[in-house]
Amino acid sequence: MTDRPARKPRPSWDEYFLFHVLPAVALRSTCLRRHVGAVVTVGNRIVATGYNGAPGGVRSCDELGYCNKDRKGLASGTGHDLCLASHSEQNCINSAARSGVSIEGGTIYVNVRPCVHCAKSIINAGIKRIVYQKDYPDELGMRLLTEAGIQLVQMNPEEASGKPYGRFANRPVLTDSIQPPHPCRNRFCRSSRQSPFCTARQPRTQPWPARNACRQSQRLRLRRCRSGNRHTGRAN
């Protein structure tokens, strides 16, 4: 029975959507100040996504090359009437409405806490839970969400960490930072990790492709030794 290495900690649903899915959604943002994404889930299933940017058919700040709020010297959380972009929460809710998908009772994941305008849309859409990373300088939006009974959960990447699960729960987690680099001593092997067929045998911490590559080179060496032909590797 092979002793496989322990898996890395498995992220929870909140960590999966907030730290892994949401950054990919935010890459589509056209805002010059910050890239913000939003993901709405119902029953741990993604039903809508959105990012902050100008409405469809309107030139964004990225295309214009300037931001109206920067020109006026306005701080974050102010001057919403001068911003050309729609916030990610609004775009996400509008996308679900346009597709005819119900998001009532769902959870929305955002980079920053919603502003007062997005808070109103979230309350009227029937979303019951908000998971976010950073605060937003809008106390009125916070008060509306609290008064409406919306659950607010703030998570930081430094504090969040998945837990080992299944039969790997009691085993130490092996990462690349703690694995000592040990090149293969088999001169016919092209893998960079230690192989179970090599002379200096180490714990089998290398990935399966590296093991297969070393196993193939070991077979090739045996064929060459039996045939006496070190050039072609074919048996006589």
Q: What's the rounded Cα separation, in Å, for the pair 144 and 123?
A: 9
Within 13 Å of residue 224, how many CA atoms lie on the same side as its CB? 11
Is 127 within 8 Å of 40 (Cβ atoms)? yes
Helix axes 116-125, 139-147, angle to 10 degrees: 20
Determine the Cα–Cα distance for residues 152 and 150; give it in Å rounded to an integer: 6
Q: Active-site residues: which are they? A: 89
Decide: 144 and 116 in contact? Cβ < 8 Å: yes
